[in-house]
Amino acid sequence: MNYAKNILETIGNTPLVQINHITKELPCQVLAKVEYFNPGHSCKDRMALKMVEDAEKDGRLQPGGTIIEGTSGNTGMGLALAAIVKGYKLICVISDKQSKEKMDILRAVGAEVVVCPTNVEPEDPRSYYSVSKRLAEETPNSWYVNQYDNPSNTQANYEQTGPEIWEQTKGRITHFVVGVGTGGTISGIGKYLKEQNPNVKIWGVDTYGSVFKKYHETGVFDENEIYPYVTEGIGEDILPENVDFSIIDGFTKVTDKDAAVYTRRLAKEEGLFVGMSAGSAIKGVLQFKEHFKPDDVVVVLFHDSGSRYVAKIFNDDWMKEMGYLD
Ligand code: PMP
């Protein structure tokens, strides 16, 4: 019989799918690493399991313990799967900007969800950074994951996603493009790919309202770059330790409107029902157009599934309200 002994064994080995229509104007091939094929429907299953296993190994996480994390949803889902199989409790601290589906899904897989206001400073005691830290201090036998600064996040992508992409493209990849939040995806995959071939270009997709692009270009943490935005999963108002700026060749910023419009195009034109940061990522690829030559093989990573955004980008009324439908 051929079966997985539990759901965690089905994580990884996601397909690489050619983009056939949206990128027609480019001279080269574009392949998407479609991470919604993971059991928690996002790339974050990989790093969530790795963070839990590493914490078990060095005793930060003890039997029967409580896992606590500030998460925009996808990491929470990955942690929930690990917590169920391994017998831990999970508390997810989430900001009120996140979609209601994400909160409902986390509750469905047994997590306790604590909702915090989005538009407060990270140092504010109401912010989800502060609330997660406080809960970790107050809860006995608990472990605060901290995906932003936890090296197992990058390591999971270095050990799994990077080698998968290298093998799937038979080493022919020339460019890797991906949205950046905690930085674990770009840093882990980018480091692995550059070790195999230092000529592979690693490009980050940022969002308006986030500090990454300006910081990468100038070395200045500019608070004027920080303002509210709609795109979920990418961009930050902090510099997470998992963003390795030294392996990133450049950033481009994508607007919320373009992210929403291109996510809908991926569903309609490619049959890829993906989340909003995938729209940012594919628009990012198009914005790097002048860098591509005919023999290039561009890999773009789509982090999650469209099912978490049905009330938003896949809802025409919401799109009209936001001014995203012309
Ligand atoms: N897209 C989505 C939907 C995400 O949940 C995340 C994780 N925050 C990202 C992109 C960015 O990935 P990373 O945190 O590894 O930079």
Residue type, 150: N
In this prediction, what percent of the chain has a pLDDT beyond 90?
A: 90
181 lines ligand 1 (CB under 6 A): yes
Residue 72: per-residue pLDDT: 66
Centre of ligand 1 from the C-alpha of residue 299, in Å: 16
From the candidates 5, 24, 33, 44, give the one annotated as an active-site residue. 44
Centre of ligand 1 from the C-alpha of residue 232, in Å: 8
Indicate the top mutation candidate among 79, 185, 203, 207 to test ligand 1's pocket, ranked by most ligand atoms within 8 A of CB.
185
Residue nearest to atom 12 of ligand 1 (CA): 181
Class of domain 43-144: alpha beta
Domain with CATH 3.40.50.1100 in the chain: 7-37+157-322, 43-144
- Residue 122 has φ and ψ, to the nearest 5°, of -55, -35
Residue 115: per-residue pLDDT: 93
Task: Give 278's pLDDT tier (boundaries 50, 70, 90).
Answer: very high
72 lines ligand 1 (CB under 6 A): yes
208-237 pLDDT tens trace: 999 999 999 999 999 999 999 999 999 999
Residue nearest to atom 4 of ligand 1 (CA): 233
27-77 pLDDT tens trace: 999 999 999 999 999 999 999 999 999 999 999 999 999 999 988 689 999
98 lines ligand 1 (CB under 6 A): no
204 lines ligand 1 (CB under 6 A): no
Residue 129: per-residue pLDDT: 80
Tell me: pLDDT of 300 over 80. yes
235 lines ligand 1 (CB under 6 A): no
Lowest mean pLDDT among 4-18, 107-121, 241-255, 261-275: 107-121
Tokens for 22?
Answer: 């949206």
Domain covering 7-37+157-322 in this structure, CATH number: 3.40.50.1100
71-97 pLDDT tens trace: 868 999 999 999 999 999 999 998 887
Task: Give 128's pLDDT tier (boundaries 50, 70, 90).
Answer: confident
Tell me: pLDDT of 10 over 90. yes
Residue 86: per-residue pLDDT: 98
Residue nearest to atom 8 of ligand 1 (CA): 233
Mean pLDDT (whole number) for 307-323? 94
Residue 122: per-residue pLDDT: 80
164-194 pLDDT tens trace: 999 999 999 999 999 999 999 999 999 999 9
Mean pLDDT (whole number) for 233-260? 97
Tell me: pLDDT of 119 over 80. yes
Task: Give 142's pLDDT tier (boundaries 50, 70, 90).
Answer: very high
Determine whether 44 is an active site residue: yes
Lowest mean pLDDT among 37-51, 121-135, 267-281: 121-135
Residue 220: per-residue pLDDT: 96
Average pLDDT across the chain, whole number? 96
Cβ–Cβ contacts within 10 Å for residue 239, how many?
A: 14
CB-based contact 69:147 (threshold 8 Å): yes
Mean pLDDT (whole number) for 282-291? 98
Residue 49: per-residue pLDDT: 98
ipTM value > 0.95: yes
